[in-house]
Amino acid sequence: MYTFLPDAVRQGLEEARKAALKRKDRLSVHDGDDTYRIRRFWDGGFALDLEGSERLRGHVDIYDGPKHLYTCLVVSSIDEDDERVFEFKWATPVATAPAADFVRPDFVPAGLISR
């Protein structure tokens, strides 16, 4: 794509693209004590920088800043260009409230007025 540009310009564009990705995305993968910044995220997987990332396999957690979003099971990874692309078998959203053992009605009043 950038084959007609000089090397200095091509490197500058690549560094600017990486800097924009770091500012824009706060998603990260936590594997035990290790944390990796996510470059791209979709329904079936995610991609990390090739540099500084290892091959993940098994149970990982995905965070948006401090907020825990998903618990995932990573099953495979491949290297494409300057990214390591991971696929997961399942991604379960993390519940923010305890599970209810009863049916919740559709309409719940904000408060009750006593007599």
pLDDT tens-digit series, residues 86-107 = 999 999 999 888 888 888 888 8
- From residue 19, alpha-carbon distances to 27, 105, 113 in Å are 15, 47, 55
Does residue 75 belong to any structural domain of this protein? yes
Domains held by the chain: number: 1
Domain containing 61 equals 24-93
Rounded-to-5 percentages of helix, strand, coil across the chain: 15, 45, 40
Does residue 65 belong to any structural domain of this protein? yes
CB 75 within 8 A of CB 95: no
What's the whole-model pTM score?
Answer: 0.65
pLDDT tens-digit series, residues 15-41 = 887 776 665 568 899 988 889 989 889
